[in-house]
A and B are shown apart, each in its own frame.
Chain A
Amino acid sequence: MHNDQDRFKLFTRRASILAGGQLALVSALVGRLYYLQVLQEDRYRMLADENRISLRLLPPPRGRILDREGVPLAVNSRNYRVLLVAEQSPSLARTLDALGRIIPIGEHDRRRIEREVRRKRPFVPVTVAENLGWEQVAQIEVNAPDLPGISIDVGQSRFYPYYEEAAHVIGYVAAVAEEELTGDPVLELPGFRIGKSGIEREYDGAMRGKAGTTQLEVNALGRVIRELKRQDGQPGDDVELTLDIDLQRAVSRRLGNDSAAAVVMDVRSGEVLAMSSTPSFDPNSFNQGISSTEWRALSTNMKAPLINKPVSGQYAPGSTFKMIVALAGLEAGLVAPDDRFYCRGWMDMGNARFHCWKRHGHGWMDMHEGIKQSCDVYFYELAKKVGIARIGAMSRRFGLGGTVGIDLPGEQAGLIPTREWKMARVGTPWQRGETVVAAIGQGYILTTPLQLAVMSARLATGRAVTPRLTRRLIGPDGDTRLPETPEFPPLGLSEPALAVVRDAMDAVTNHSRGTAYRSRIAEPEFAMAGKTGTAQVRRITRAERLTGVRKNEDLEWRQRDHALFVAFAPVKTPRYAAAVVVEHGGSGSTTAAPIVRDILLEAQRLDPGGRRRLAGGADGRGEGG
């Protein structure tokens, strides 16, 4: 028994030690729990939320582009897609067969779908087909019981209802490129589109809006369980353009398939009513991702359909520049309107002979006749008196030689040469002969069709009219931004001098000996005043002069002259100014002038500026579009 007593004592001691050890270890567990659940709670709570909360961006609806009447030119169309959730479909093959009776599913599509289903988790939707018609959508909805796992999803895609007719102004949207990522997370959303050209690019920021967010609870497999919180984004602003889509379409159609540019402006407000560049392209094709053949066709086309010629095309203005030279002379007091020069068909200066377009000469020319008949020799003589510096200064007052600040990307400045420019750029001093050539808008001088339209508007009003394409931005709550029509300051030219030039331009179209008499507007109340221009793109050699200058029709397309015409109308109370350049179109009087006649007539008939007034107020109509 003594033995058992000892054993019991030993047992008690050891059992107590063991129990004590166990208690210590249990305490360690409690301490560990305290550490994890109290001291580290915030950290783990955050990790837990990171685990289960998936923050997703809700792309904002892009603002629309409207014409001046509120007609939508760029909208977000509903893009109906068919999605398939594999786990909801007991038999993929049978579901696809059933769906195939409603919409065509090719063998290729079928393989792609099956491949995607295999690769993705069974609850992740797979796109079966896109851009469904409403009828197909309705049929699928009706047959829903036979189509387990099939659902219709509505996405947004950009749609341009006027296709190519205003493509260059509106521009297009396309997928975001790597270098365009700015850190805005919305840009990284799959399928997000940003403006790549035209207004779409210029006002991309305003039209983009602000992305909303949604907090989704997801499980360990990434399946969405529910939406925890949703913050709706802000839709982008609508952009209301100054364009009148009816006039725009008329202009685009009138230009046809020529490589040409046309601008129609309201001379009082500077609003651009039509701006057309042909040939054009369908901006819708960029949205879905343009095919490489289509892209190659567009980018290698000699007529450069992707270039917005009214602002990016630079052309020698030809004789349309003569008003500037005339005004420079009048303004400097170096010439009176009645001063006459004799045109014998050419003018010699030093060793060089400068030809008039009229081989046998115009005889005695004053300023009025010089412009009306577009006598080159008159302006050679005038330029010799006036000098390149004054011509350049007057050019700039009319908006040439620098960007006019239109709200479009890619605007070119053109070129009005100076002595300093030539020294710096070419490295040789200015030659007198170059002044003579400049007088007829040739040589170094380059202008854009938009600049020519601005020039015409300034001639018509005597004010520093500046063009614009946007009337206002309309926010999602209807608020309007962008100032209303600014007051344009006068150019500071004397009214008699301007009158001389305007009368001469009137005579160009409305006097029987004017160069564009055949393209006059017969209706007196719509009559226009204009000026022809024919810009040479090649040098005519002495040998050719002797054998006879080759006619345009005999030359290959790229060698032919550019045809230009600038005008404003009506003559007495100008409302609209226009400029047209037809690349390699031949002569201004035969090719460009009839186009301007037609579009100015159409402009006055439609009278977008006047209609707005009648509609009562700046709000126009058709906000809903």
Chain B
Amino acid sequence: MASILGNNRRYERPLSEKIWHLGWALIFLVAVISAVGFAMLYSAANGSIHPWAVNQMIRFGVGLSVMVTLAMVDIRTWMRWSYPIYGVMLFMLAGVELYGEIGMGAQRWIDLGVVRLQPSELMKIAMVLALARYFHGLQVEDVGRLSWLVPPALIVLTPAFLVLRQPDLGTAGMLMLAGAAMFFIAGVRAWLFVVIGVAGLAAIPVGWQMLREYQRQRVLTFLNPETDPLGSGYHILQSKIALGSGGMFGKGFLQGTQSHLNFLPERQTDFIFTMLAEEFGLVGGVALIAMYTLVIAYGVAIGLWSRNHFGRLLAMGVTTTIFLYVFINIAMVTGLIPVVGVPLPLISYGGTAMLTIMIGLGLMMSVLVHRDTFIGRRGPSEDD
């Protein structure tokens, strides 16, 4: 077995074989979900492909090419470039603090002239890469030592802190949750999570002080939305009304009254799931959730299939990130958690989010394509 692995070390599959090994089922799923997104954006524009659906299609086309291209890149290359990518993203994220434009009341964009990038979105993937790289090089015993956990903790907390300062509660939360998931699958002792959990609870009052006024308001109205139905509670309440009135089978495509009469805010972005559930009912909502579940299951399977630890961690990290997108967004629009501004992957209108998901899926697919590649604990560099 060792010899086979040893041989594989230098073995590079030809491109045609790589394409053959692409997760075509996954690509199909992604295409279907994106198509649902096009339909919803068509509906959000009251039955027009302008202005959203057509843009989203172009982005999907670009994203799909990016995804396939990234999938072709050797897993060892990804591992080698993990830290530099993370470093660049961190640099850009810090740059937003200094040069970022004001958008939506929070600094989130970096304007490169041609595209406006949201480094915080891309950071979600970069962080997963960096953590996978780090934990790949760690022995099982080392994972148990607290001192070894300081660098990965910094990998998570540095961008989370920057994002929180922007301020973007949703992304910061996602970074920390994804980071925690990575720690967990890397084998960090369970009791540590308990300790951190308790500490986190204790830190809530401190964190409350750090929140901006509108964020506090969101949390407060989340806790009791009916108190202010025309003010801050409006979004949650209107979203629940639209959802609930959809019923079992929905009001029909383009027939969602609440969304089309503008009662539903941000229907093309954060609240697009609400519109889907209003028009297609419980059946439509559950069907979409099922498709996401298949994507996630596929991601977990890729992780389990991979023979190198970097790939396993990477696949699980990306999968968890996608899960967090889906869960936070739907929980948010159904009033389970406060409104934090997390888009629904592949469906919400927005360039960076689509790109982030596609890059993540590309990396996941790379793990799949290169699942048999063996990588030593000290990384690919020693072999080259």
Contact = CB atoms under 8 A, between A and B. Distances in A.
Interface of A: 1, 3-4, 6-8, 10-12, 14-15, 17-19, 22-23, 25-26, 28-30, 32-34, 36-38, 40-41, 43-45, 47-49, 51-52, 217-221, 225
B341 interface: no
B243 interface: yes
B300 A15 contact: yes
Nearest to A17: B184
A18 B316 contact: yes
Contacts of A34: 282
Contact of B248 (A28, A30, A41, A44): A41
Given A18-B185, A52-B258, A37 B243 contact: yes
A49 B242 CA distance: 10
B261 A52 contact: yes
Contact of A33 (B238, B263, B277): B277
Contacts, number: 139
Contacts of A6: 140
A44 B244 contact: yes
Q: What range describes how many residues of B lie at the interface?
A: 35 or more
Interface string B339-366: 0000000000000000000000000000
Given A22-B296, A41-B248, A51-B241, A32 B336 contact: yes
A7 B257 CA distance: 53
A528 B306 CA distance: 124
B98 to A, nearest CB: 36
Most buried by B among A10, A34, A51: A51
Interface in B220-241: 238, 240-241
Contacts of B139: 3
B327 A44 contact: no
A225 B243 contact: no
Nearest to B324: A22
Contact of B282 (A3, A18, A38, A219): A38
B167 to A, nearest CB: 25
Interface string B270-306: 0000000100011001100100110011001001100
B323 interface: yes
B263 A15 contact: no
20 contacts: A4-B377, A12-B304, A15-B312, A18-B320, A30-B289, A32-B336, A33-B277, A33-B285, A33-B334, A37-B243, A37-B277, A40-B244, A41-B245, A43-B244, A44-B240, A47-B244, A52-B258, A218-B261, A221-B262, A225-B261
Given A3-B140, A14-B185, A48 B241 contact: yes
Interface of B: 1-2, 139-140, 181, 184-187, 238, 240-248, 257-258, 260-263, 277, 281-282, 285-286, 289, 292-293, 296-297, 300, 303-304, 309, 312-313, 316, 320, 323, 326-327, 330-331, 334, 336, 377
Contacts of A221: 262
A32 to B, nearest CB: 5
Given A18-B181, A36-B334, A30 B240 contact: no
Nearest to B5: A1
A219 B185 contact: no
Nearest to A7: B140
B320 to A, nearest CB: 7
Given A14-B184, A30-B289, A36-B334, 14 more contacts: A11-B303, A11-B316, A15-B316, A18-B185, A26-B327, A29-B336, A32-B331, A32-B334, A37-B277, A38-B247, A41-B244, A43-B244, A44-B244, A51-B263
Given A7-B140, A11-B187, A26-B293, A47 B303 contact: no
Contact of A7 (B292, B300, B309, B320): B309
A23 B293 contact: yes
Nearest to A4: B309
Contacts of B281: 37
Nearest to A221: B262
A225 B248 CA distance: 26
Contacts of A29: 289, 327, 330-331, 334, 336
A26 B319 CA distance: 14
B374 to A, nearest CB: 9
Nearest to B286: A30
B263 A220 contact: yes
Contact of B184 (A18, A25, A28, A33): A18
The 4 closest A-B pairs by CB, nearest first: A44-B244, A48-B245, A219-B261, A220-B262
A491 B242 CA distance: 76
A10 B257 contact: no
Contacts of A47: 241, 244-245
A33 B286 contact: yes
Contacts of B262: 219-221
Contacts of A26: 289, 292-293, 296, 323, 326-327
A52 B289 contact: no
B187 A219 contact: no
A38 B238 CA distance: 17
A7 B309 CA distance: 8
Contacts of B309: 4, 7-8, 11
Given A15-B304, A18-B185, A22-B320, A44 B289 contact: no
Contacts of B248: 37-38, 41
Contact of A217 (B245, B261, B300, B330): B261
A37 B246 contact: yes
